[in-house]
Amino acid sequence: MISDSKRMTPLQWGTLWKDCIFIFFLFFIVLVSVLYIYAKSLLILLLVTALLFILLDPIVLRLSRSISRGVAVLLALFGFFGVLAVLMSVIFRTILPDLAGFIREFPAFIIHFDSSIVVNMLPAEFAEYGNQVLRDTVVFAVDMVKESVIPLIRTFSGVAEMIAVPFLTFYLLKDGRKIASSIADFLPPLQVKRFAAFFGDINIVLGGYIRGQMLISIFSGFVVFLGSYIFGLPYAHVLALVSALSEFVPVIGSIVATVPGTLVALSYSPLLAFKVLLFYIILLKINHNIIYPKVVGKAIKVHPVFIMVTILLFGHLFGITGMLFAVPTVAVGRVWLIHLLDKSNTLHE
């Protein structure tokens, strides 16, 4: 039995808690950085597994109320990979060939822009600068598709990865709470509550962000595809995919997504380009003024200005991949900082 003199006081436990949270965050940053540099495929595999866990855990919780947890996990995984198989089929058969065609015709879109009435009204130096901005913007949009879709396809293309991701996700969904309980056995009751609150808040923030972004992404992709079809624009699948993926880079991505569609429309007529641009502006306003604050803003609680600065910083350091992970990283960092400073035991009391 531990004597009273050797027992740690609540203040000492609080200091130890802060040290543990700080060390955990530093270890996480170092681990991700090392994997990004030396084992990017493994990092993608782990991120995909974590993403699936966050997405499917609420579904498993609901299903497990009426059936066993193991069966619920299997049903959730089969449903997800069934939908994924359909999406991959669409990507391989339709979107990738259209993307190749769009890239081939991109110089023609620039030529149409050069000869447009708007450009001819501008001084030569402004017109050239505008051309360069447009080229960089479209290249950014195309690279966003490549950086988002191709690594995911590569992750699931290998036999080992195909087996590892479902198995890791299955055991996390089925036994994740048992693993957490076994770790909690080494901690005093007060610290168990704090660790549970800490990781629970991270799960809530990331889950809310990912599900919210996916909802906005699906909505934007569907609306852009429908709008492109109504306007009679070619490459509707590519424009929809660019719009959908761009929503994962808040503020900047949705602005960039307007350029490819407007350029394609400009190759037909300036009036059509104006209509398409107006269509994108209305969609952007709906997303950022109505949908985003309700489904994402409540989860991350980070000011848009700070989000934009973080996206630019991560983009400069890690490229498009960094821009995709900037917001969730900041959201997790906010949770970590709140718990480190002991402002509250949980974000949602």
Q: Pick the closest to residue 87 from 171, 148, 164, 165 (CA basis).
A: 148
CB-side exposure of 261: number of CA atoms within 13 Å? 35
Q: For residues 174 and 185, what is the distance between their CA atoms, to the nearest angstrom? A: 19
> What pLDDT is attached to residue 76?
93
> Which tokens go with 252?
């900047």
Residue 338 burial (10 A CB sphere; 0-12, 13-18, 19+): middle
Residue ranges covered by each domain of the chain: 40-340
Cβ-contact 291, 219 below 8 angstroms: yes
Q: Pick the closest to residue 329 from 114, 60, 25, 9 (CA basis).
A: 25
Rg of the Cα atoms in the chain: 24
> Which tokens go with 186?
């080494």
> What pLDDT is attached to residue 190?
67
Burial 182-202 (b: 16+ CB within 10 A, else e): eeeeebeeebbebbebbeebb
> What pLDDT is attached to residue 349?
45
Cβ-contact 161, 307 below 8 angstroms: no
- Among positive and negative, which fits the CA dihedral 228, 312, 306, 215? positive
> What pLDDT is attached to residue 115?
60
> What pLDDT is attached to residue 232?
93
> What pLDDT is attached to residue 269?
84
Positions of the chain with pLDDT lower than 70, given as ranges: 1-19, 110-162, 184, 187-188, 190, 342-349
